[in-house]
């Protein structure tokens, strides 16, 4: 829910197998890694910030929940990570769009078997990389190699 509590606002204790909500209610994590607060949400003063679900707040935790929480904390705390991401994101997203975009006719696999499709994918990516290098100014060098001129 926009402006409400996220999964990061809930305290997870993996050792005890419990999750505690922002109001202090603790529930057990099931074998399927789910937590239901149910009846505890009925009279909760924080309910409007937590859930609109009639049966109360329900969480599904990933088996890698602790790693994901740490990654989100790092992302929020470190400006250098966000800067590096912004620097590389446009080219990565453009490359993926070239590979599986609506005009690329690559939305379905062409061959049967993982080996043939893996080979096709590598060939397609090599072609896209070559096209990108040519657009960046790939030129033959005097020594018989190839280079992209550095900007002045």
Q: Answer for the pair 137, 131: CB distance below 8 angstroms, yes or no.
A: no
Q: How far apart (Å, rounded) are the C-alpha atoms in residues 66 and 89?
A: 25
pLDDT in tens, 19-36: 999 999 999 999 999 999
For 32-99, give the DSSP string: TSEEE-GGGGTT-TTHHHH---TT--EEE--TTHHHHHHHHHHHHH-HHHHHHHHHHHHHHHHHHHHH
Q: Residue 101's pLDDT band (boundaries 50, 70, 90)?
A: low
What are the extents of the domains in the chain? Answer: 7-69, 79-107, 109-152
- What proportion of the chain, given as a percentage, has pLDDT over 90? 47
pTM of the model: 0.57
Q: How far apart (Å, rounded) are the C-alpha atoms in residues 60 and 120?
A: 37
């Amino acid at each position: 829910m926009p402006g409400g509590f996220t999964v990061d606002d809930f305290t997870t204790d993996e050792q005890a197998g419990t999750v505690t909500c922002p109001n202090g209610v603790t529930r057990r994590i099931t074998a399927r890694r789910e937590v239901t607060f149910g009846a505890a949400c009925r009279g909760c003063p924080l309910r409007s910030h937590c859930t609109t679900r009639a049966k109360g707040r329900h969480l599904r935790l990933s088996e890698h929940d602790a790693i994901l929480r740490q990654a989100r904390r790092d992302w929020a705390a470190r400006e250098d990570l966000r800067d590096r991401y912004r620097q590389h994101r446009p080219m990565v997203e453009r490359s993926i769009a070239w590979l599986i975009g609506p005009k690329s006719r690559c939305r379905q696999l062409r061959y049967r078997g993982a080996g043939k499709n893996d080979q096709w994918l590598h060939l397609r990516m090599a072609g896209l990389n070559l096209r990108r290098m040519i657009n960046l100014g790939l030129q033959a060098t005097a020594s018989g190699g190839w280079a992209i001129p550095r900007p002045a």
